[in-house]
Amino acid sequence: MKGPHNIWRLVRTGATLERTGAMGVVLDAFDAPRPLRIAARLLGWPFKWLGYEGDPSMPPATRALSALGPAYIKFGQILSTRPDVVGNELAQQLRVLQDKLPPFSIETARQQVRAELGLTVEEAFSEFGEPVAAASIAQVHKARLAETGQPVAVKVLRPGIERAFRTDIDAFYFSAFVIETLAPSARRLRPRDVVAHFESVVLGELDLRLESAAASEFAANTEGDAGFQLPEVVWGLSGRRVMTMSWAEGVPLGDNDAIDRAGHDRVALSERVLQLFLNHALRDGYFHADMHQGNLKVAPNGDIVAYDFGIMGHIDEYTRRVYAEILYGFIRRDYKRVAEVHFEAGYVPADRDVDEFARALRAVGEPIFGMDATRISMARLLSYLFEVTERFGMETRTELILLQRTMVVVEGVARSLNPHMNIWRVAHPVVEDYIKNAIGPRASVRDLTRAAQVLARFGPRLPGLVEAALIRQADPREPPRRNPWPGRLFWGGGGTALGAALVLLWHVSA
């Protein structure tokens, strides 16, 4: 981390918010207390002249974030899906960040295509139009394949995006260091780990070959999902900085007026988008982790079409089961079980009181049930939940950051379609179905089968492992010697698969 450089970057961030008029908008959106407003203005106003001017035609918050760079834009994209947190006015302003940023020139895009594919645009495409969408990292052009005339979407990375992103993320690391230094109580949130996780996720967006592979895997997993479709990758015209996919027709999921004119049922769409996400996360453990309105369309037949696969989330089977049990516990209002799952998974330190934690969770969950979604202040709920995690010493789980963030985004998308949607009622059948399949006799049989397969692969090595374990137990300082008899005696004595597994685990952990 380059200290002086990052101090300057942070000062300029505050100055940009002040210069563009975004400071007041942000403070109002979060209902900041008067002392904080006064402090922010006193610190920001003297440096106002140092801020970026941005595009005066944009709303203040959008103008500031787009001027500050790609990482700030990503943050704004997330906030744009949460009108219940930042208010309708600011959410509408930030929605521009999803796919309506200023594009780079078509000539630059043509140069990028030629440099990456080794073909001129004319050789690859019979048509190559102006950009139809421009986001923080890349922009998309509608084109037609020269060979077949098929309409396609050509995604091209912004020139210099890697360096711009590195500048932003370096400042974030510095900010995390300052927070941990000046506010030791915040260390449990592991801000530097959070930034590292965010960095690894977005770096994946900067290599379109990885996005192409993600799209292919996601399509294979979701092939049988009703009411859901994905564009296909054109592998021969895709590379690190250019990606070509079949064109997806439809209206943007964020345009309620267009959805209504097309005759689609917004209530059904809101429920489907949430249930699709939960199915992908729980059933497959592989989900689209950037499901904001700018990456979703409604096809003419009513299907939801997803695209832009630069950020995909993966969670292992154990974590999925924990997550499902927590969700199911909230749905059933069984807060004691939710608390127990947190303790069993190690999310809460073992020295804390499980009953007290359950009561704290009840205070989070109860306001949701039996209440119109429009009356729920998600900002207050999140604020209280943060207080709960702080009081019980819970650390940030970096492996769950992407899942939690996407859940917030998807809920925001669903509620933008139907403000009265009850998230728990809609989630219930998906989570209940997963619980039935993942926890129970059938799941136990599957787990044992997988364990047997692993043991079978280690079978040829087990006698040697047993031998090494016995030698180590006799004299830990003595290096392993090749002696066939201990292993033979073990197997001759009727050693079982369970015994072999225990020895193997002891050997690995010793």
3-state secondary structure of 126: strand
Contact 59, 93 (CB under 8 A): yes
Q: Which secondary structure element, helix H or strand E, spans residue 456, and what is its range? A: helix 441-458
3-state secondary structure of 150: coil
Contacts of 288 (CB under 8 A, 6+ apart): 218, 277, 280, 295, 306, 309, 311, 312, 313, 406
CA dist., res. 41 & res. 290, Å (int)? 34
Can you read off the two tokens belonging to residue 103? 């594009």
CA dist., res. 389 & res. 189, Å (int)? 9
Closest CA to 282 of 312, 246, 311, 325: 325
Closest CA to 421 of 279, 297, 273: 273
290 is catalytic: yes
Give start and end residues of each alpha helix (H) in 87-127. 88-94, 106-117, 121-124
3-state secondary structure of 296: strand
CA angle, 224 as apex, 221 and 226 as ends, to 5°? Answer: 125
Contacts of 325 (CB under 8 A, 6+ apart): 337, 338, 341, 435, 439
| Per-residue CA distances from 241 to 137, 397, 418 (Å) | 11, 32, 37
* Complete DSSP assignment for 55-92: -TTS-HHHHHHHHH-HHHHHHHHHHTT-HHHH-HHHHH
Contact 190, 393 (CB under 8 A): no
The catalytically annotated residue of 290, 316, 351, 355 is 290
Residue with structure tokens 């998807």? 410
- DSSP β-bridge partners for residue 229: 305
CA angle, 328 as apex, 323 and 333 as ends, to 5°? Answer: 130
Contact 36, 27 (CB under 8 A): yes
* Complete DSSP assignment for 219-288: HHHTTT-TTEE-PPB-GGG--SSEEEEE---SEETT-HHHHHHTT--HHHHHHHHHHHHHHIIIIISEEE
Q: Which residues are catalytic?
A: 290
